[in-house]
Amino acid sequence: MKPIKKASEMSVRELARYIDQSVLKPEFTQADIRKYSQEGIDFGCATICINPASLDMVSEMVQGTDTGVCVVCDFPFGLSTTASKVKQAEEYCSHYKIQDLDIVSNYGQLRSGNYDFVINDLKPVVEVCHSFGANVKVIIETDSLTIDQVKKGTECAVKAGADFIKSSTGFFTGAPGVGAINEVVAAMMEAGQGRIKVKGSGAIRTREHFLELIDMGIDRMGIGYRSTPVVLGCTVEEATKLK
């Protein structure tokens, strides 16, 4: 959605509401997860995006704050069976207060042109999440797709009833990792036609790019823990003082 004012005129707290702080690296220690999750909370990010194994810790940390939990599902490949994906989503949403669930689509099927498969693989997950009041973001791994396939993937997410279309996992290694470049984000917006929100993720590392995407009308962005202070233009200590 187009913002009512330019991104350059927004406060740090307003800008932080566009961010899902990514705390997903599999090698992170428990201390790392706690540190970077707390930084996202202190910045006032919309959510902390975590692996399911971190749900106990981070769910407790966000209690009483303006920051929610975003858990990834079938991440980063999206190749489990549909039944398995449904069970994963049901377990996370039934045991924890989940704001968003980011699920990886079977983008190999998307690349194959099997759109009905993609839709039917996602739809029951969306239904489960919605029954618990959680939003669903569908990751289509845009670095693996042509622009036309990005548009087709967006349409599949719309037909599955998802709340967001999302570009990347940040873990794709089969091609250059351009992530949420403006062309890809514009293609998702064009295909979505206002029927679905757009989350850009992957390679959003400069303040200029971050502000450009907001001005384009993006709804959310996945930002790595190192890049959050860069795109917001302040340290976590400075952000805490602005509360």
Residue 200 to residues 53, 58, 97, 160, 239, Cα–Cα distance (Å):
24, 23, 23, 19, 23
| Distance of alpha carbon 207 from alpha carbon 227, whole angstroms | 9
Name the DSSP class of 188: H
50 DSSP β-pair partners: 23, 71
* Closest by CA position to 180, among listed 157, 148, 212, 155: 212
**Contact assessment for residue 165 and residue 140, using Cβ atoms and an 8 Å cutoff:** yes
DSSP secondary structure letter of residue 180: S
Q: Which residues are catalytic?
A: 102, 166, 199
CA dihedral 154, 157, 158, 163 (to 10 degrees): -110
